[in-house]
Amino acid sequence: MVEVSIGEFARLSRLSPKALRLYAELGLLPPARVDPGTGYRWYETGQLERAGLVASLRRIGVPLAQVGDLLELDSAEAMADRVVAYWSGVEADHAARRDLASLLVRRLMGDGADLYQVATREVPERRLLCLKRNVDQAGAWALGREFIGLTRSRPVPRLPGRAGATFTIYWGEVTEDSDGPVEWCRPVPDDQAEAAAAGFPELTPRSEPAHEEAFVHLGDTAASRPRWQLLQEVLRAWVAEHDRRPSDLAPRLTMLAIPPVTGRSVPDVDFAVPLA
């Protein structure tokens, strides 16, 4: 394998030395050798394929944190599946932005028709096991994976129906710049709450009061950030038009597992705003 300087590797890969240093720091494309005396970095020409893959993923907008996850997959087929899933999400985001723009234009023109059907439901008082942390947009995915991994690692008693579905509360703005609090919650039966909490010392037990929610059903599609903004606008308008007001409880995504649950199962998702 031929070894080349960082400058030559930058020329061959069409990546700037700045980008190469960033990718090296993140572990995406570490140099083959670093001179212990000068700190100068050397690459091997065999790394050009990985450099091209990283560059291609970044060109289609894959965040750096997800690039690392993709590179760790054990097969090209698995990576291809993940890229397809990512691009489907990008297209869904674009569609959501288009719908949001359409909604704003219609509102400005005095047309209050909704793009989504809004319904309401009563939610009983519940005992919850929760994992709450301040995270940015990339960290929100990691928090979700951590919570799901924990709740799948040991048996968790369930409440029946939608009241027992796992849900995620966004207590603040979560973007690339803002690390608002995000809380993942799993409802558990009252009479088993203490035992469940003892079995999950990583999670915080708490109660949530009974309340009414306005919600939009999304089916098997999770709310991306643009769609989240669109749904917030839709529900905000619905609340105002029906002379209601939001409660102190924050908006949430509810994810109901439909049995039989397998590794390929997709939850039934809705977006809800608790009402006062």
pLDDT tens digits along 66-100? 888 898 888 888 888 888 888 887 887 777 777 76
Query: For the residues 40-56, what does the mean pLDDT come to?
Result: 91
Residue type, 224: S
Of the candidates 9, 75, 17, 19, the one whose C-alpha atom is nearest the C-alpha of residue 48 is 9
How far is it, in rounded angstroms, from Cα 96 to Cα 271? 14
- Classify burial at 36, counting beta carbons within 10 Å of its beta carbon; exposed 0-12, middle 13-18, buried 19 or more: exposed
φ and ψ at residue 166, rounded to 5 degrees: -65, 140
Q: What is the pLDDT of residues 112-151, one digit of tens each?
A: 445 678 899 999 999 999 999 988 877 888 898 899 889 8
CATH, domain range 3-64: 1.10.1660.10
Of the candidates 59, 103, 126, the one whose C-alpha atom is nearest the C-alpha of residue 234 is 103
CATH, domain range 119-275: 3.20.80.10
Query: For the residues 43-67, what does the mean pLDDT come to?
Result: 89
How far is it, in rounded angstroms, from Cα 208 to Cα 270? 19
Residue ranges of the domains in the chain?
Answer: 3-64, 119-275
Is residue 104 within 8 A of residue 91, CB to CB? The reply is: no
- Classify burial at 166, counting beta carbons within 10 Å of its beta carbon; exposed 0-12, middle 13-18, buried 19 or more: buried
Q: Which of 5-14, 21-30, 191-200, 255-264 has the lowest mean pLDDT?
A: 255-264
- Alpha-carbon torsion angle 215, 271, 60, 55, nearest 10: 170
pLDDT at 44 over 90: yes
φ and ψ at residue 251, rounded to 5 degrees: -60, 155
